[in-house]
Amino acid sequence: DAGVIQSPRHEVTEMGQEVTLRCKPISGHNSLFWYRQTMMRGLELLIYFNNNVPIDDSGMPEDRFSAKMPNASFSTLKIQPSEPRDSAVYFCASSSWDFYEQYFGPGTRLTVT
């Protein structure tokens, strides 16, 4: 299996622009997670999907952030409009029903100038 796939790996954009991050979870996993990692705040859970349904979005910072999972093999995290403080590494992770372990993608490094 190819593991969790994220694209792009790096994104540089200007403040005010829309940014879309993409994730393909491991086939057969029914849980998907989006995390953000910064030096100041560490790893934070943004949103959790189970069977394509958002279950916990309490970590989404504000209305500028939105996430979708239209099917079991694809999810997006969108930031509109982007701000410099959104600069971080965004990880997608997936797991099977027992949550024994989460499998992380390589991350997308976002820089907003």
Partner 1 sequence: SQQGEEDPQALSIQEGENATMNCSYKTSINNLQWYRQNSGRGLVHLILIRSNEREKHSGRLRVTLDTSKKSSSLLITASRAADTASYFCATVQPSNDYKLSFGAGTTVTVRA
- What is the rounded distance in angstroms from the CA atom of residue 45 to the CA atom of residue 4? 17
Binding mask 23-42 for partner 1 (x = CB under 8 A): --------x-x--------x
93 binds partner 1 (CB under 8 A): yes
Among positions 12, 15, 38, 55, the unique one binding partner 1 when judged by CB under 8 A: 55
Supply the minimum distance, in Å, between the C-beta of residue 44 and partner 1.
8
Q: What is the DSSP string of 11-78?
A: EEE-TT--EEEEEEPPTT--EEEEEEEETTTEEEEEEEEETTEEEE-TT--STTEEEEEEETTEEEEE
Among positions 86, 105, 110, 112, the unique one binding partner 1 when judged by CB under 8 A: 105
Closest C-alpha to 91, from 71, 72, 105: 105
Among positions 23, 65, 69, 107, the unique one binding partner 1 when judged by CB under 8 A: 107
Binding mask 64-83 for partner 1 (x = CB under 8 A): --------------------
Closest C-alpha to 106, from 54, 35, 56: 35
Which residues are at the interface with partner 1 (CB under 8 A)? 4, 31, 33, 42-43, 45, 48, 50, 55-56, 91, 93, 95, 99-107
